[in-house]
Amino acid sequence: MKDIVLTGDRPTGPLHIGHYVGSLKKRVEIQEEYDKPFIMIADTQALTDNAHNPKKVSENVYEVAFDYLAVGLKPELNTFFIQSLVPELAEFTVFYMNFVTLARLKRNPTVKDEMQQKGFGYNVPVGFLNYPISQVADITAFKANLVPVGDDQLPMLEQTNEVVRHINNHFNTAVLRECKPLLSKVLRLPGTDGLSKMGKSMNNAIFLNDEPDVISAKVMSMYTDPNHIRVEDPGNVEINTVFKYLDAFDPEQEELKELKEHYKRGGLGDVKLKKRLNNILQNTLEPIRQRRKEYEENPEEVMKLLKTGSEYARSVAAKTLKELKEVFTLNY
């Protein structure tokens, strides 16, 4: 069986450079290696913590699509689709809920971390707690075996394979397919404040559509070594967020190694490093931002692309669902 790639993002806002340097860049790199990778905009999943503000989700479907196209994901090489336009995925989810326990969902480290960040506690919406099962549906419906993800999504793929093995083994079938991650070189980029999670709600992200002055302001306010007070003071590279971004974006890695040694022994100021990073990010994001504006001027064409891809994605998911129903003897 040929390799099938599926990946996606929740449309809760424009994508940031953490997305870009992570799995998004990986998708661009591999798009010519595989036959029409599936790229999903997970609007149904986004409702799990935005159910009272669905307009935010529907509007951001466009934002995510603009970003996908702007970074270089080509319509002719990929299948773009909207999750809610493939209702079969919801049916897959209902079936899979019978093969995952509540205790297992609560043990999922990604879910635990996000519940804590959002302050849900015992009042977590069932949909949010259930979204790992929704991801199992997204992956298995297309029999995807390769999923470009960041390291924070590895527990989701592990849970997907648990469900696949459970059903295949119990019913002595091979209808479902296990998957494996395609990890990017940069597994996770911290927020500009030094925290491990980057996001709009935390006001610590640089977005692909940020204007030059906004990027400059965010870079110049980045968290560095608080003990590096004077230029001549030795600095700690490991806790300096600027270096983490330079690791991800700086094309002159040998020169960067020398800068790190200079910083460690003292004599290199944070402002100089931030100016270097700002120049690099401006050069990286300028062409993306310009391409994005072109797509923003033609939202009807972008939605047409998404609907066409969704029709095809639905036909594929429906075929797999029919096979699964036969396994469950629900083929009336």
Q: What is the pTM of this model?
A: 0.92
- Token pair, residue 285, equals 């994001």
Asked if residues 192 and 206 have their Cβ atoms less than 8 Å apart, the reply is yes
* pLDDT at 44 (0 to 100): 95
* pLDDT at 150 (0 to 100): 81
- Residue 6: CA count within 13 A, CB half-sphere: 26
Distance, in Å, from the CA atom of 166 to the CA atom of 171, rounded to the nearest integer, reads 8
The DSSP element (H or E) to which 181 belongs, if any, is: strand 180-183
Residue type, 189: L
Instruction: Extract the residue ranges of the chain whose pLDDT is less than 50.
Output: none
* pLDDT at 187 (0 to 100): 67
* pLDDT at 159 (0 to 100): 94
Asked if residues 141 and 88 have their Cβ atoms less than 8 Å apart, the reply is yes
**Residue 75: what are its φ and ψ, rounded to 5°?**
-55, -35
Distance, in Å, from the CA atom of 153 to the CA atom of 45, rounded to the nearest integer, reads 14
Strand-pair partners of 80:
39
Distance, in Å, from the CA atom of 53 to the CA atom of 133, rounded to the nearest integer, reads 23
- Token pair, residue 35, equals 């036959």
Burial readout 52-80 (b: 16 or more C-beta within 10 A, e: otherwise): eeeeebeebbbbbbbbbbbbbbeeebbbb
Distance, in Å, from the CA atom of 47 to the CA atom of 57, rounded to the nearest integer, reads 7
178 SS3 class: coil
Q: What domains are there in the chain, each with its CATH number?
A: 6-190+299-327 (3.40.50.620), 212-292 (1.10.240.10)
Distance, in Å, from the CA atom of 277 to the CA atom of 282, rounded to the nearest integer, reads 9
Residue type, 295: Y
Distance, in Å, from the CA atom of 227 to the CA atom of 272, rounded to the nearest integer, reads 17
Distance, in Å, from the CA atom of 73 to the CA atom of 24, rounded to the nearest integer, reads 9
Secondary structure of 245-270 in HEC code, one letter for each residue = HHHHHCCCHHHHHHHHHHHHHCCCCH
The DSSP element (H or E) to which 206 belongs, if any, is: none
**Residue 147: what are its φ and ψ, rounded to 5°?**
-130, 110
- Tell me, rounded to whole angstroms, the distance of Cα 155 from its chain centroid: 14
* pLDDT at 199 (0 to 100): 76
First to last CA, the chain: 28
Distance, in Å, from the CA atom of 137 to the CA atom of 132, rounded to the nearest integer, reads 9
